Amino acid sequence: MLIAGNWKMNMDLIAARQLAGALRNSVEASEGVQVAICPPFVALDAAYGILHGSAIQLGAQNMHAADSGAFTGEVSAGMLRSVGCRYVILGHSERRTIFGETDADVKAKVAQALAHRLVPIVCVGEQLEDRDAGREEAVVADQLRGALTDVRLTVPSDIVIAYEPVWAIGTGRTASPEQAQTMHAFIRKELTNLFGADTAAAIDILYGGSMKPDNADELLSQPDVNGGLIGGASLVAESFVALVQAAVRCQ
Write down the catalytic residue from 92, 126, 136, 190: 92
Q: Is 94 a catalytic residue?
A: no
Q: Is 92 a catalytic residue?
A: yes
Q: Nearest CA to 62 among 122, 18, 104?
A: 122
Widest Cα–Cα separation across the chain: 48
Cα torsion 190, 195, 197, 199 to 10°: value is -120
CB under 8 Å, gap of 24 or more: what pairs does 93-102 form?
93/123, 93/125, 93/164, 93/166, 93/169, 94/8, 95/62, 95/123, 97/127, 97/166, 102/146
Taking the CA atoms of 197, 198, 199 and 201 in sequence, report the sign of the dihedral they define.
positive
Contacts of 49 (CB under 8 A, 6+ apart): none
Work out the angle between the directed axes of helices 44-51 and 13-26 (0-180°, nearest 10).
20
Write down the catalytic residue from 101, 126, 136, 164: 164
Q: How far is residue 69's CA from residue 81's CA, in Å, rounded to a whole number? A: 17
Contacts of 72 (CB under 8 A, 6+ apart): none
Contacts of 194 (CB under 8 A, 6+ apart): 144, 145, 148, 149, 151, 200
Task: Give catalytic residue positions.
Answer: 92, 164
